[in-house]
Structure 1
Amino acid sequence: MRKEDLDKVIGILREEFPKWNAPVVSLIAQKTGDPFRVLVCALISTRTKDETTAMVCKRLFERIKSVEDLYLIDKDELSELLYPVGFYKNKALFLKEIAKELKEKYNSKVPDKLEELLKLKGVGRKVANLVLAEGYGIPAICVDTHVHRITNRWCLVKTKKPEETERQLTKILPKKYWIEFNKLLVAFGQTICKPVKPLCHICPIREYCEYPEAKMQTRAS
């Protein structure tokens, strides 16, 4: 994919997005506008299917509505609420530690700076950037497995690690697209550009893609 095609491609993804399943973190951000819930949901979602994340977040946020609630809840009860997300016991520990840090160091407010978010237990660049973009509306590129896979399939980047992808995208992708890029590509990746057997025959942007199957489908159409 050429950098010059990005405006067209993102325009098409925006048009198609309502037909796809939106990422649960984006839905929570849109519904609540609460960086705390975005942070909690983003942590829960790692290595967990979106439908499981959605179910658990719905149950959890009926019980946990603030940093104080998370700080006070018993660890075992929190673990039960998080089941069956991946590594739910570890995530319960991380969330309890985060609640303690937010309460004691940040006046129970989720930081809006990358370097501060990265100090929180269990928070890496993916989660931190997602909180900035979805929770605060601050331009940041969240590179998860979908963004990493798809941008390499497009040959927009040639990277082996998500951190490398993020660095390259900050140089290639116009800043006006940073906030929505993850949301668009996650929905696209869950619905069309799947990890195994991507649906190139119905892909709305296959003419711009360098993936071999997409190029074959473009020539055949």
Structure 2
Amino acid sequence: MAIPLILASASPARLATLRSAGVEPTVRASAVDEPALVQRAETEFGELEAEDVALLLARAKCEAVAAGLVEAGESADALVLGCDSVLELGGQTFGKPADAADAIARWQQMSGGSGVLHTGHWLIDDRDEGTDATFGAVASTTVHFARLSQDEIEAYVATGEPLEVAGAFKIDGLAGAYIRGIEGDYHNVVGLSLPLLRELLAEVDVAWHELRD
């Protein structure tokens, strides 16, 4: 019997990544107000680094789902994983584009250049006989973008795909032809670093294969 994992994310890409690795999580999306949370944190602590934003949001999602189970009177008896990705580009931190115009402007900036995709991972050991640990880490992957013409940018944005994800691209989707290469973990760019998750699990004495049926 596999150790239950709750994925505190509505991302289809993260779910597909886990499933492709033999893990079948229970999906529980959170209702975290991400812009408001980041704004409050920056008001209190000053401007956050991109890695800090990713980890802050991953933690908030994970904790919100874990707390929601308690409020609903449910026993999780599971590991809870929250993830969030942001793109660091030219010293700025970007999440999902606000609209098509924003996505076009983003791609005009990314075209021919490079950015770093940071994904925060937060794990709560909410098993009945678990450690009660709550901690996280960030995986970062450098992404090199091809140089796109304006027509290519507008055609890609018109598909709607860039509006769905942080960074305004899906390396495992229609944007695959526009990525010249990466430095780091491919799965991290998709949205969830399997090697990092394996390391986090080891901290609570769970072997990777124990998540598989």
Verify same fold: TM over 0.5: no
**TM-score when scaled to structure 2?**
0.28
Q: If each structure's helix is expressed as a fraction of its own residues, which one has the higher value? A: 1
Higher strand share: 2
